[in-house]
Amino acid sequence: MDRASIIERLERIVGPGGVFHRPADLLVYEYDGSVDGAVETARPTAVVLPTTAEQVAEVVRLAAAEGLPVVPRGAGTGLSGGAVAQSGGIIIALTRMNRILEIDREDRVALVEPGVINLELTEAVQPDGYFFAPDPSSQRACTIGGNVAENSGGPHCLKYGVTTNHILGLEVVLPDGRIVWVGGRTAGQPGYDLTGALVGSEGMLGIVTKALVRLTPLPEAVTVMLADFPDIDSASHAVSRIIGAGIIPAALEMMDNLTIQAVEPAYHAGYPMDAGAVLLIEVDGIAEDVAATAAEVRELCIEVGAREVRVASEKAERELLWKGRKMALAAMGRLAPNYYLHDTVVPRTKLPATLRRVGEIGNEFGLRIANVFHAGDGNLHPLMLFDRHKKGDVERILLASKELIKYCVEVGGSLSGEHGIGTEKRGYMTLVFTAEDLAAMAGLKNSFDPRGLFNPEKVFPKGYVCGEVRALRLQAMAQKHGIYAF
Amino acid sequence: MCPSAVVTPQTPTEVAEALADAAERGLGVAPVGGGTALALGNPPERLDVALSLERLTGILAYEPTDLTLSVAAGSRFADVQAVLAEHGQTLPIDVPEPERATIGGLIATALAGPRRYGLGTLRDLLIGISVAHPTGAVSKAGGMVVKNVSGFDLMRLYHGSLGTLAVIVSANFKVMPLPRFESTIQASYATLSGALAAADRVRGSRVRPAALEVAQTDGRWLLAARIEGREETVRLLARECSDLLAAEATTLDAGDSAAWWAGYIKEESLARHERGVTVRLGTVSKRLGEVLTRATELATEHELPLEAIHVSPGLGAALLKIGGEADEATVARFHQWRESLLGLTDYLTVMRAPVEFKRGIDVWGKPPATLDVMRALKQEFDPTRVLNPGRFAGGI
Amino acid sequence: MVVAEEADLRRLGGFSGTDVPEPELLRACVHCGMCLSSCPTYRMTGQEMSSPRGRLWLMNAVAEGRLNLLDPVFDEQMYQCLNCRACEAVCPSGVHYGPLVEASRAQLEQHRPRPLWQRAVRKVALGWLFDDLSRLRGVVGAIRLYQRTGLQTLARRTGVLRVMGLAEVEAMTPHISRRFLIPGTERWRPQRPAAAVQLFNGCVMGTVFADTNRAAARVLAHNGNAVDVPVGQGCCGALHVHSGMMEEARRLARRNIEAFEATGDDPIIVTAAGCGAALKEYSYLLKDDPEYAERAKKFSERIHDVTEYLAKRPLQEPPRRLERTVTYQEPCHLAHAQRITEQPRKLLKSIPGLQLKEMRESSLCCGSAGIYNLIRREMANDLGDRKAQNILATDAQEVITANPGCAMQLRACLDRKGNRMPVRHIVEVLDEAYGGEQAARRGRWVADRAGSEVG
Ligand SMILES: Cc1cc2nc3c(=O)[nH]c(=O)nc-3n(C[C@H](O)[C@H](O)[C@H](O)COP(=O)(O)OP(=O)(O)OC[C@H]3O[C@@H](n4cnc5c(N)ncnc54)[C@H](O)[C@@H]3O)c2cc1C
Ligand code: SF4
Ligand code: SF4
């Protein structure tokens, strides 16, 4: 079918107001939230904004018949290029499927469409005393569908778990255009855990059209502490001590001096300007317990060298302390036109050494790097400051990134804690995974999407097309046994 | 069914080689850990080789300050817990036969006890995994960090796949601090609905127990709530919990509490149910009472003695033990009973039963709605159906 | 020729001539998407081109020469934008969206061939009418006559308005103040003045909402401020800026600057959030005018929204209790463009007896946006309906806002729902708590006619 006929068919499926195909319309679907230079932009053939799962399914069937790639898209805040149509095809943007269909207070679940905005789900259930626990910093914009696809996390995931721990079931459109339910209200149903496999699959296995999510009761009491440390080492040490003492705070975040220098003058959160690093520690739970835990955390921090620990239990005071953390990216935006945010994870005990290495890399490449991150689970967010319009800056950033990622992998870490691989980090996958590892992942992909039409060019290294998966597996076997090779 | 050979490989590579070998010869393989859950599933279509993982044992890495652990799949759960306990840590799941059950088996069966209600399952703790494939390859997914989205989440795919996709050779976990203190509050009720109503009050309160169970004992219904945490807090919540129960409540502290639960969990052991049938059923929490009442009525109607019922109100699940011999008449009546309950439940699994009961049915109940996707997965991972062929849901 | 050369110097991809969007401002957007959910047009459509990020990307594409300035999508999006600036308030990278969309519109005005009649209408509507406020007063007077004489009822009954496509305009037309406030003719003096302030009268505020301005003056006087309404001032030019008519806007700006320069350094108080935002941005509007750049900066620094000014000091305790529940609709140009969100709430809470109940999405645009509701009815109505729903969900007895455009739009959308709850400016509520006009007689302060209008 030629392009015009495809557009016409699409319009018949979703109505003329739901299809975009003029060049200028497509222009604004060539990016997502990722950093220029780290992810190439690419233009889709058409964009559709369906309003029902049936429409999604019909579009998928049409695309399958035409052999066109399909790329699901939420709010497009992804940081790894997941929603960019790398090899063209149809972008299915789910922003018009944004209703909260049901809130079941008794069973503590909500049924939502994928385009519902993360924060708005929490706002909707807050009056009943609940919240949706995964809280990415982008929560005011990103969608539940995107959260599911990326298995997103946030500061409070230390205690409450990441997205996958809060998804009970999904309605998905499969690459053959069928609409199916996986999981459901009742846990423990027989069969493979397809829900678990779909969460974090970056839109490569199915398109989420409904999500059944768990609602978490709001904690009765919350206390936030700001611990001031002379250096990063002692702050990292405190992290290990707190975790080691069997305390799981609701959040445990670290900010280094460069971050404080950027944040404090702008937001007056009361961070000590001369601190080597500060920890922002939140404990929550029942009132009687929170006070005791907070006191214990305070003791531990002082023991390992904290100069001061400020304790805030009033809402306004807590919010002020958090404001600095939440606005950290914003403050960076004011230090330099661009920043590249990394997302590697290292074992918590490797934090001091890794942060030292980050500093060295900054020096080697002449970059300013600020650290503001989820220390409690070792999820680093080094922010490399640059100006994409300055010649050579992007190249330097990419080289420095490579060094950084290599180091994190060497100390037993991983490429990404919450932002996903997408196209951005697919080139690094072989640092962590062997051909066999990738072949197993490709096995999962293949069983859902044998033609490789769902969100191609993501996660797997370049040139790793799904049709070749079996060949690769054989090759892996041959490597192993030698004998099969000729 | 009896395998004609037992292999006991010593390394992951040997496991993979054994599998590749079996695949080449078209044999059926059953991976075996501690052998505590061999009763689970349909009788396999083919069983030639028992692949024992008993020699694949040991802690591969343990970093107490990181709270991460890597362990070989054949390791016994009790041994692992002992090492963790030295550092005040634990894998907080309930295992009926900890001295026999292995880590690999626990992951493959996804069996979880009462604390699943408050603390989740191994699914939530699994951060990395290594498996051996029938292609002869060994592959891994995840890693040794507590938060990771690099690549697909194969941990969750293998968890609960009953060894039908690949053989787990090692697993990485995030471990938890041992609770500092625990108490169990118990109260007994004349009716199931009375006990479930009390459980509902506890669920809606700030007590948030780690486990909340209702069990039938001597014609009455016993509710038990297990509360863990800081001692003062536990004592405070225990009092609040007692107030909610609206019945004479007793409290067991510390060791007494743990011991009581160990006994309770042991009763759920599949290996120990010598006779009769054990069934697990699930539905949404709010329908559980109704479904269980119906199940009991139907059991009486079909003359099936219900010997034990363990109910997890917060999970919408219950474990039922039915007595009786494996004679033709009983089997037929059991099948009728099961048939009429299938429509009322979200799932109904025959967990353990003499083979006579398993004939002619899929023990997993209704085929999953996504059976064809599951079949495609099996086809991808185990195209020649080497691993536990036919044993899993829908005859996978 | 010199002029041509100058024009050539200002070229950025597809932009050229005067008011080219500034490349530094454009580049500041890192397309993170954090602004999406705050944007009313994105919320209503779910489409990326109707989002701040999409619009900025389109502007960048024109600047990079990848998109034609006159591409219909570009035109459509630059004008579908409400210029509510909600995106600006939440942008972590501090992108100055307002000036960019205004410059883009100015570009379109310069380069777009418009049908002659449209140009003529715009010239009359925005140019002629607002240039000399006595003309505006004449037209508003005529509308008042229409409202009073029963012609309104007749017109409504016969449905003639709908036929003429004027029903929406009519629904929006507010109840007009009995007496216009003419600069230089009225002033307010407390017994012991602690400060002197100058009231910016504005075009719509001074005519349609003249009584609101008087209420503001009384509240200010009650709190120790001598209030004058300097002569020579005119329309702020916000509507012109929003429509890309930059030259007209600059002319108005220069005139206002001159008018207020005569009053020294006194704070200038504004009762319309839209005007306030525009006045605060004169410094930007005239930054390239060597003669006025500095003066504009000084002028802008003097501008205070009335709520901003009043909230600086503790209020005189109002003598009356107002036992009622109200909800507060944030005018975009107060909350987003001026980032004033706490002060109005603080003022409302300081009125004894008054309960403030927050509505959902209180900072989402109501669809008014200057004259947007007149030119993009469908979007404006959808937004208005959404707003009305959120208002009604609070069970409040009154809606409080701080901008004439919002007040009109709120009235219209509540009417559509068949609800007559009062929509009031925050200073009217304060004024009521102080006793309104009658309070003057109690001698705390005096209002007098300052003689005839001078010059
Ligand atoms: C400033 C900023 C801060 C951020 N902070 C965090 C953070 O703290 N933690 C974190 O985890 N992430 C963070 N992110 C990354 C991003 O916001 C998350 O990945 C988010 O979940 C993406 O949601 P989205 O709706 O924008 O998805 P998109 O970017 O539109 O898409 C992301 C991926 O999901 C797929 N997808 C989208 N919808 C569906 C669907 N319905 N079905 C199937 N696949 C779908 C897409 O194909 C794509 O691969 C941040 C991003 C920004 C810009
Ligand atoms: S305007 Fe600001 S918030 Fe919006 S995409 Fe650009 S940088 Fe992000
Ligand atoms: S000004 Fe308002 S309508 Fe325009 S892009 Fe920004 S938020 Fe959207």
Q: Which of B240, B266, B292 is the last residue of a domain?
A: B266
B259 and B200 housed in the same domain: yes
The C residues from 16 to 35 touching A (CB cutoff 8 Å) are 27-28, 30-35
Backbone angles phi, psi at C440, to 5 degrees: -55, -40
Q: What is the pLDDT of residue B219?
A: 87
User: Is residue C181, in this structure, part of any structural domain at all?
Assistant: no
DSSP character at residue A382: E
**What domain range is B296 assigned to?**
277-353
Backbone angles phi, psi at C268, to 5 degrees: -105, 125
User: Is residue B331, in this structure, part of any structural domain at all?
Assistant: yes
User: Is residue C397, in this structure, part of any structural domain at all?
Assistant: yes
CA–CA min distance C92, chain A (Å): 4
C196 and C299 housed in the same domain: yes
Domain containing B135 — which CATH number? 3.30.465.10
B257 and B300 housed in the same domain: no
Distance CA C202, CA C238 (A): 10
User: Is residue B5, in this structure, part of any structural domain at all?
Assistant: yes
Question: The tokens 């975040």 sit on which residue?
Answer: A253
Does A24 contact C30 at a Cβ distance shorter than 8 Å?
A: no
* Interface contact C153, partner A, CB < 8 A: no
Tokens at residue A118, please?
A: 């993360």
Give residue B55's pLDDT band: very low, low, confident or very high (50, 70, 90): very high
Total Cβ atoms within 10 A of residue C22: 15
| Mean pLDDT value across residues A109-130 | 96
Query: Could you tell me the CA-to-CA distances from B337 to A78, A372, A479, B273, B340 in Å, in that order?
Result: 51, 59, 54, 20, 5
C210 and C253 housed in the same domain: yes
Distance CA A189, CA A3 (A): 44
Task: Tell me which of B346 and C152 has the higher pLDDT.
Answer: B346
User: Is residue C319, in this structure, part of any structural domain at all?
Assistant: no
Q: How far is the CA of C33 from the centre of ligand 2 (A)?
A: 5
User: Is residue B111, in this structure, part of any structural domain at all?
Assistant: yes
C330 and C428 housed in the same domain: yes
Please tell me the total count of domains within chain C. Answer: 4
Q: What is the pLDDT of residue A470?
A: 52
Q: Collapsing DSSP states into helix, strand and coil, what is residue A123? A: helix
Least confident of A230-239, C198-207, C318-327: C198-207
Q: Which of A171, A176, A186, A374 to mutate to test the interface with B (most CBs of B within 10 A)?
A: A186
Does C90 contact A140 at a Cβ distance shorter than 8 Å?
A: yes
Q: What is the pLDDT of residue C169?
A: 54
Q: What is the pLDDT of residues C368-388, one digit of tens each?
A: 865 666 567 788 888 999 999
C51 and C90 housed in the same domain: yes
Please tell me the total count of domains within chain B. Answer: 3
Residue in A closest to C32 by C-alpha = A33
Is the pLDDT reported for residue A456 higher than 50? yes
Q: Which of A428, A422, A396 is nearest to A410 (CA)?
A: A428
Among the partner-chain residues A197, A244, A347, the one whose CB lies closest to the CB of B157 is A197
| Mean pLDDT value across residues C168-174 | 58
The residues pairing with A311 across neighbouring beta strands, listed in sequence order, are A225
| Mean pLDDT value across residues C391-396 | 93
Determine whether B109 is exposed, middle or buried from the number of CB atoms within 10 Å of its CB (0-12, 13-18, 19+): buried
Which residue has the least CA distance to atom 8 on ligand 3? Answer: C39
C191 and C249 housed in the same domain: yes
Helices then strands, counting H and E runs in chain C, come out as 27, 12
Closest-lying ligand to the alpha carbon of C90? 2
User: Is residue B151, in this structure, part of any structural domain at all?
Assistant: yes
B91 and B108 housed in the same domain: yes
| Chain A residue numbers touching B365 (CB-CB < 8 A) | 190
B137 and B6 housed in the same domain: yes
Q: Collapsing DSSP states into helix, strand and coil, what is residue C146? A: helix
User: Is residue B324, in this structure, part of any structural domain at all?
Assistant: yes
Domain containing B205 — which CATH number? 3.30.70.3450
Q: Which of A21, A27, A340 to mutate to test the interface with C (most CBs of C within 10 A)?
A: A27
**What domain range is C381 assigned to?**
324-434
Q: What is the pLDDT of residue C148?
A: 60
Is the pLDDT reported for residue B124 higher than 50? yes
User: Is residue B359, in this structure, part of any structural domain at all?
Assistant: no
Does B153 contact A150 at a Cβ distance shorter than 8 Å?
A: no
C101 and C120 housed in the same domain: no
Does A24 contact C47 at a Cβ distance shorter than 8 Å?
A: no
B338 and B381 housed in the same domain: no
Q: Which of B266, B294, B312 is the last residue of a domain?
A: B266
| Mean pLDDT value across residues B277-303 | 95
Q: What is the pLDDT of residue C168?
A: 54
Tokens at residue B106, please?
A: 């626990």
Domain containing C72 — which CATH number? 1.10.1060.10
Q: What is the pLDDT of residues B356-366, one digit of tens each?
A: 999 999 999 99
The A residues from 355 to 384 touching B (CB cutoff 8 Å) are 374, 377-379
pTM of the predicted model as reported, rounded to 2 decimal places: 0.91
C234 and C308 housed in the same domain: yes
Tokens at residue A389, please?
A: 């319009």
Q: What is the pLDDT of residue A66?
A: 96
* Interface contact A432, partner B, CB < 8 A: yes
The ligand 3 atom at the shortest distance from the C-alpha of residue C39 is 7
Give me chain A's average pLDDT, please: 92
Ligand 2 binding pocket includes C379 (Cβ within 6 Å): no
Distance CA A47, CA B144 (A): 40
B127 and B188 housed in the same domain: no
Contacts of C210 (CB under 8 A, 6+ apart): C177, C179, C180, C181
The residues pairing with B279 across neighbouring beta strands, listed in sequence order, are B320, B350
- CA B238, B239, B242, B243 torsion: positive or negative? negative
B29 and B160 housed in the same domain: yes
C86 and C132 housed in the same domain: no
| Chain C residue numbers touching A123 (CB-CB < 8 A) | 360
CA–CA min distance A137, chain C (Å): 9
Is the pLDDT reported for residue C451 higher than 50? no
Q: What is the pLDDT of residues B137-195, one digit of tens each?
A: 999 999 999 999 999 999 999 999 999 999 999 999 999 999 999 999 999 999 999 99
Among the partner-chain residues B233, B286, B376, the one whose CB lies closest to the CB of A447 is B376
Q: Are strands C324-328 and C11-12 parallel, antiparallel or unpaired?
A: unpaired
User: Is residue C455, in this structure, part of any structural domain at all?
Assistant: no
| Mean pLDDT value across residues B383-394 | 95
Backbone angles phi, psi at A439, to 5 degrees: -65, -40
Q: What is the pLDDT of residues A297-308, one digit of tens each?
A: 999 999 999 999
Give residue C164's pLDDT band: very low, low, confident or very high (50, 70, 90): very low
Does A327 contact C38 at a Cβ distance shorter than 8 Å?
A: no
Q: What is the pLDDT of residue B280?
A: 96
Closest-lying ligand to the alpha carbon of C30? 2
C284 and C215 housed in the same domain: yes
Does A25 contact C67 at a Cβ distance shorter than 8 Å?
A: no
Does A22 contact C73 at a Cβ distance shorter than 8 Å?
A: yes
B114 and B29 housed in the same domain: yes
User: Is residue B360, in this structure, part of any structural domain at all?
Assistant: no
Least confident of A162-176, A330-344, A387-401, C230-244: A330-344
Q: What is the pLDDT of residue A75?
A: 98
Q: What is the pLDDT of residues C288-343, one digit of tens each?
A: 999 999 999 999 999 999 999 999 988 889 989 999 999 999 999 999 999 999 99
Phi-psi region of A192 (alpha: psi -120 to 50; beta: other; left: phi over 0): beta
- Ordered domains of chain A (ranges, CATH): 3-93 (3.30.43.10), 100-217 (3.30.465.10), 221-329 (3.30.70.2190), 336-410 (3.30.70.2740), 433-481 (no CATH)
Q: Are strands B167-174 and C15-16 parallel, antiparallel or unpaired?
A: unpaired
Q: Which of C22, C25, C30 to mutate to test the interface with A (most CBs of A within 10 A)?
A: C30
Does A95 contact C30 at a Cβ distance shorter than 8 Å?
A: no
B130 and B92 housed in the same domain: yes
| Mean pLDDT value across residues C198-208 | 85
Residue in A closest to B156 by C-alpha = A196
Chain-centroid distance of CA C184 in Å reads 23
Q: Which of B217, B240, B266 is the last residue of a domain?
A: B266
C94 and C131 housed in the same domain: no
Determine whether B38 is exposed, middle or buried from the number of CB atoms within 10 Å of its CB (0-12, 13-18, 19+): middle
Concatenating the DSSP letter of every residue in A204-238 gives SS-EEEEEEEE-EEPPSEEEEEEEEESSHHHHHHH
Is the pLDDT reported for residue C9 higher than 80? no
Is the pLDDT reported for residue C116 higher than 80? no
Q: Which helix (H) or strand (E) holds C140?
A: helix C133-148
Give residue C151's pLDDT band: very low, low, confident or very high (50, 70, 90): low
C125 and C157 housed in the same domain: yes
Domain containing B344 — which CATH number? 3.30.70.260
The ligand 3 atom at the shortest distance from the C-alpha of residue C42 is 8
Give me chain C's average pLDDT, please: 84
Give residue C170's pLDDT band: very low, low, confident or very high (50, 70, 90): low
Residue in A closest to C69 by C-alpha = A24
Is the pLDDT reported for residue C163 higher than 60? no
Concatenating the DSSP letter of every residue in B179-236 gives PSEEEEEEEEESSHHHHHHHHHHHHTSS---SEEEEEEETTEEEEEEEEEESHHHHHH
Distance CA B208, CA A149 (A): 30
B54 and B129 housed in the same domain: yes
Sheet holding C268-270, edge to edge: C303-305, C268-270, C195-200, C225-228, C186-190, C445-449
Is the pLDDT reported for residue A38 higher than 90? no
B308 and B167 housed in the same domain: no
B167 and B191 housed in the same domain: no
Q: How far is the CA of B170 from the centre of ligand 3 (A)?
A: 53
C234 and C281 housed in the same domain: yes
Give me chain B's average pLDDT, please: 95
Concatenating the DSSP letter of every residue in A441-458 gives HHHHHHHH-TT--BS-SS
